[in-house]
Amino acid sequence: MKRAKGRKNNQLRATKIQTGVNRYAEGSALISMGNTKVLCMASVDEFVPRWMKDTGKGWVTAEYGMLPRSTHDRMDREAKKGRQSGRTQEISRLIGRALRASIDMEKLGERQIVVDCDVLQADGGTRCASITGGYVALHLAIQKLLKKKVITKNPMEVAVCAVSCGMFGKDALLDLNYDEDSTADVDMNFVITSDNKFVEVQGTAEHRAFSFSDLEKMKDLAVKGSKELFNLQKKALK
């Protein structure tokens, strides 16, 4: 497997995180990983979903979407089709679970933060980029709440990021682009915390079932990549 632009197997794509990209959202970030670009905006609501009322706890949720021509061939607009695909809902739920792992909901108090992740351009790894960039938007929204003294204790406990890996024969590769993603034998996504633990591990056999040692190889790459991503998040948040 030769990677585009001479990228090494354990190398992330060129990644940038730009903050303050929307003047209304309490927190916003535009993340690009190679040709994948996701706009992440965190919105604070001073209420929680009905089923959480009067628990004293907050909530973080996420919504994922793709612009119709974010992809190589234009896709139909989900709003026009009248429903979100199973894939869209699955990814929205994943991002939400990932981001919730970074927050102490009691310190957040009874308010909700919705993180919208809209893909402007897709070249593989959009769910991972959404989590990595969504964390930055969420962090900025929390900082704003602290600054305005809406909350007094910092509910951010840990940073989270996500990265994909894949197996090609015996080789494990980090951060797959679309071409790699669609030909990999195995495809795994790791959501990792800055204290080096896992929030989500999702591995799928695309062309062959995989062994546990495959899984370990990919895990090692993912941990390596996550360290670089945490550094990029920190830099963006300065």
Interface residues toward a copy of itself, by CB under 8 A: 22-25, 28, 35, 39, 41, 43, 45, 63, 65, 67-74, 77-80, 82-90, 92-93, 97, 101, 114, 116, 118, 120-121, 158, 188, 193, 195, 197-205, 208-212, 215, 219
- The residue (of 227 and 235) whose beta carbon lies closer to a copy of itself is 227
23, two tokens? 């003047």
CB of 5 to a copy of itself, least distance (A): 15
End-to-end CA distance of the chain: 37
Total Cβ atoms within 10 A of residue 236:
21
* Residue whose CB is less far from a copy of itself, 188 or 232: 188
In terms of CB distance, is 49 or 235 closer to a copy of itself?
49
Give me the sign of the Cα torsion angle 185, 121, 42, 235.
Answer: positive
How far is residue 212 CA from its own chain's centroid? 25
152 vs 212 by CB, closer to a copy of itself: 212
Closest CB 16 distance from a copy of itself, rounded Å: 15
Q: How far apart are CA 36 and CA 34, in angstroms?
A: 6
What tokens does 116 get? 């919208």
